[in-house]
Amino acid sequence: YNTKFQANDMAGALAIAQRARDLDPDNPVITAALTIAQNKRNLAEYNQVKNSRNELHRVALNDVDYQPG
């Protein structure tokens, strides 16, 4: 889990944490690791969407401002 998490491989870290939770569902450390990996994955997805939206707005506004000729 730690190796995957530090390498920013959230899919791998989540898979390992979910398997660990299946083995020991009452372990709070495993639950915390799973929650942290999910939150980091969600934050990365949010940032990707935000950056895409900002780029779209930048391009659209530049197109409006640019008057060829």
CA 14 to chain centre: 11
Sequential DSSP letters for 20-58: HHHH-TT-HHHHHHHHHHHHHHHHHHHHHHHHHHHHHHH
* CA 49/CA 34 separation, integer angstroms: 23
The per-residue pLDDT for range 16-62, each reduced to its tens digit, is 999 999 999 999 999 999 999 999 999 999 999 999 999 999 888 88
Gyration radius (Cα) of the chain, Å = 20
Whether pTM > 0.85 for this model: the answer is: no
Contact present, 39 and 7 (Cβ < 8 Å): no
Residue 66 has pLDDT above 80, yes or no: no
Helix/strand/coil for 8: coil
